[in-house]
């Protein structure tokens, strides 16, 4: 008996473990282990849990329709998952487990514990790397060290992709007949227990079918304009596929191949190349997380930044969380996060820089707040993005680079359309005043004055980083 263990890869397309397991002529079962306590420990947002559980229901139905049984087990946490799987394997006479590798530290430790538990029982673990385009240990510098600068990594990444020239994963040889979905009731109970407001879940379409449809729609209608418009949050210019990619309802390889095909059309070439670059950023942060495991323990990548004396101002932190900083674009972004579970990339950079530079609050507090709200919350990309913004990470924004919230606002939301959507008390202001309502307080009495001045921030941050470096 072969077992396909579905984890962060809730799909049938582009799934090498499924295809390989079904290629052997042996009977195949599928399993997923629920670990709600691990979700608590990892600060997984309720909306993301909902997305995963809904996607799991779609997967269970799709597998059953093709003749494969899916068993949903209760693990509780990762230790419990190992116990549950070891029992399942013994009970069903499993000889091989097929799964995609996961690279965060706790996930690796879980898999090592399972491998130890199964040692000597004749059960082989078969790992695959469908969660990334280039496996995290595949590329090293000439000195055999990991790449820590994106531009150099990207050059090698491009060469690797050209050399390997991957094709789509072959479709599985389905057994046919009708399979069973064991434990669906547990998935539904967990989902219903989240008690989420329909207004929060309504805009999202979980599951593989929706993810692939979204990919093809994006490639057809928006990819060509991606480079020109991707920084403007009021435009529907980016794919919003981060949720599907991070829960694995979409295979990164299928996303890459769709963009590569679009490059055949001259009008889409630049946009597609830029978008593929973003998929490379995703791989970059995964290899960083894998090769620097201390990042998973809350450590900054740049050791000297451990000495930074962050401000512990709870009032400022709350104002940031609630979108009441008095900087309209920052506030609109934070309200977008809390009310929709998602935030545009430019605004993730802006709000993260604002928290860590203007308010000089520890990036770990912001990282956790993001995880607790993002539907696409993903440790590697979130940690990478936060450390980049806070100038504590690999390839980080130099510490002397501080985004001006006002300039970003004029540049990337010139007509204030995005601000008006999320900060309705400013919606009636003209194109100019909407960026700086503090200049006309009588027009918007409900909106706060800036909680901190932009002037002087750069100097304070420079001084703090210099002190940390000198003391190290
Ligand atoms: P598109 O522009 O359509 O890009 C396509 C895909 O490329 C994305 O879906 C994503 O998988 C990947 N990608 C794009 N930009 C980045 C990037 N900078 N780093 C890594 N991968 C990228 N992304 C997450 O998936 N989960 C997170 O928890 C997360 N947290 C972030 C926190 C901060 C502070 C910052 C600055 C960035 C974070 N990002 C995170 C990266 C990025 O903001 C999102 O991936 C992107 O906004 C998702 O929108 P999209 O799907 O429309 O992206």
Interaxial angle between packed helices 266-291 and 150-164, expressed in degrees from 0 to 180 and rounded to the nearest 10 = 110
Ligand 1 mutation pick, 345, 352, 356, 391, max ligand atoms within 8 A of CB: 345
pTM of the model: 0.97
Active site residue 345: yes
pLDDT in tens, the chain (472 residues): 999 999 999 999 999 999 999 998 899 999 999 999 999 999 999 999 999 999 999 999 999 999 999 999 999 999 999 999 999 999 999 999 999 999 999 999 999 999 999 998 989 999 999 999 999 999 999 899 999 999 999 999 999 999 999 999 999 999 999 999 999 999 999 999 999 999 999 999 999 999 999 999 999 999 999 999 999 999 999 999 999 999 999 999 999 999 999 999 999 999 999 999 999 999 999 999 999 999 999 999 999 999 999 999 999 999 999 999 999 999 999 999 999 999 999 999 999 999 999 999 999 999 999 999 999 999 999 999 999 999 999 876 777 789 999 999 999 999 999 999 999 999 999 999 999 999 888 889 999 999 999 999 999 999 999 999 999 8
Please give the pLDDT value at position 441: 86
**Whole-angstrom distance, CA of residue 363 vs CA of residue 369:** 10
Which among 5, 363, 382, 383 is annotated as catalytic?
Answer: 363
Please give the pLDDT value at position 379: 97
72: part of which helix (H) or strand (E)? strand 69-74
- In this predicted complex, what is the ipTM? 0.99
| 4: nearest Cα among 147, 145, 175, 137 | 175
Please give the pLDDT value at position 256: 98
* DSSP summary character for residue 403: -
Domains, the chain, in order of start with CATH, read 2-130 (3.40.50.620), 131-166+208-291 (1.25.40.80), 303-471 (1.10.579.10)
| 378: nearest Cα among 253, 247, 250 | 247
Q: How far is the CA of 59 from the centre of ligand 1 (A)?
A: 24
345 C-beta closer than 6 A to ligand 1: yes
Ligand 1 mutation pick, 43, 381, 382, max ligand atoms within 8 A of CB: 381
What the block records as the tokens of 431 is 């194109």
Which among 50, 157, 275, 386 is annotated as catalytic?
Answer: 386
Task: Please check whether residue 10 is in contact with residue 249, taking contact to mean a CB–CB distance below 8 angstroms.
Answer: yes
> Could you tell me how far CA 399 lies from the centroid of its own chain?
24
Q: How many CB atoms lie within 10 A of CB 102?
A: 18
**Phi, psi of 345, rounded to the nearest 5 degrees:** -55, -45
329 C-beta closer than 6 A to ligand 1: no
Q: How far is the CA of 385 from the centre of ligand 1 (A)?
A: 8
Active site residue 281: yes
Please give the pLDDT value at position 436: 96
Protein residue with least CA distance to atom 13, ligand 1: 278
Protein residue with least CA distance to atom 42, ligand 1: 345
Beta bridge partners of 2: 28, 96
């Amino acid at each position: 008996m072969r077992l396909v263990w579905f984890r962060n890869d809730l799909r049938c397309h582009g799934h090498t473990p499924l295809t390989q397991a079904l290629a052997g002529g042996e009977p195949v079962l599928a399993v997923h282990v629920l670990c709600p306590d691990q979700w608590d420990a990892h600060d997984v947002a309720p909306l993301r849990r909902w997305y995963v559980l809904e996607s799991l229901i779609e997967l269970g139905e799709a597998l059953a329709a093709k003749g494969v049984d899916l068993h949903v087990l209760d693990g509780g946490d990762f230790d419990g998952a190992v116990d549950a799987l070891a029992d399942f394997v013994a009970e069903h006479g499993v000889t091989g487990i097929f799964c995609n590798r996961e690279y965060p530290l706790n996930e690796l430790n879980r898999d090592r514990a399972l491998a130890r538990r199964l040692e000597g029982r004749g059960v082989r673990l078969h790992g695959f790397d469908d969660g990334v385009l280039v496996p995290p240990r595949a590329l090293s510098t000439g000195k055999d060290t990991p790449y820590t600068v994106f531009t150099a990594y990207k050059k090698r990444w491009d060469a690797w992709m050209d050399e390997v020239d991957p094709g789509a994963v072959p479709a599985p040889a389905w057994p046919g007949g009708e399979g069973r979905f064991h434990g669906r009731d547990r998935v539904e109970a967990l989902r219903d227990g989240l008690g989420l407001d329909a207004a929060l879940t309504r805009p999202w379409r979980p599951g593989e079918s929706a993810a692939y449809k979204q990919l093809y729609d994006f490639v057809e209608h928006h990819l060509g304009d991606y480079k020109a418009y991707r920084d403007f949050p009021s435009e529907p210019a980016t794919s919003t596929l981060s949720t599907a990619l991070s829960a694995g309802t979409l295979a990164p390889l299928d996303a890459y191949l769709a963009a590569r095909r679009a490059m055949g059309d001259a009008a889409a070439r630049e946009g597609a190349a830029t978008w593929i670059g973003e998929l490379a950023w995703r791989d970059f942060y995964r290899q960083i997380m894998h090769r620097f495991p201390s990042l998973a323990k809350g450590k900054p990548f740049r050791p000297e930044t451990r000495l930074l004396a962050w401000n512990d101002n709870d009032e400022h932190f709350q104002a940031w969380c609630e979108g009441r900083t008095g900087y309209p674009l920052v506030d609109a972004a934070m309200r977008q996060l809390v009310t929709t579970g998602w935030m545009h990339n430019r605004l993730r950079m802006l709000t993260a820089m604002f928290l860590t530079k203007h308010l000089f609050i520890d990036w770990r507090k912001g990282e956790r707040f993001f995880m607790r709200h993002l539907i696409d919350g993903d440790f590697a990309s979130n940690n990478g993005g936060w450390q980049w913004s806070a100038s504590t990470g690999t390839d980080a924004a130099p510490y002397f680079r501080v985004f001006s919230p006002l300039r970003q606002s004029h540049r990337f939301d010139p007509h204030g359309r995005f601000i008006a959507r999320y900060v309705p008390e400013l919606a009636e202001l003209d194109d100019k005043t909407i960026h700086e309502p503090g200049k006309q307080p009588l027009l918007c009495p409900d909106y706060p004055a800036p909680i901190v001045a932009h002037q002087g921030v750069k100097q304070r941050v420079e001084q703090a980083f210099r002190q940390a470096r000198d003391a190290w």
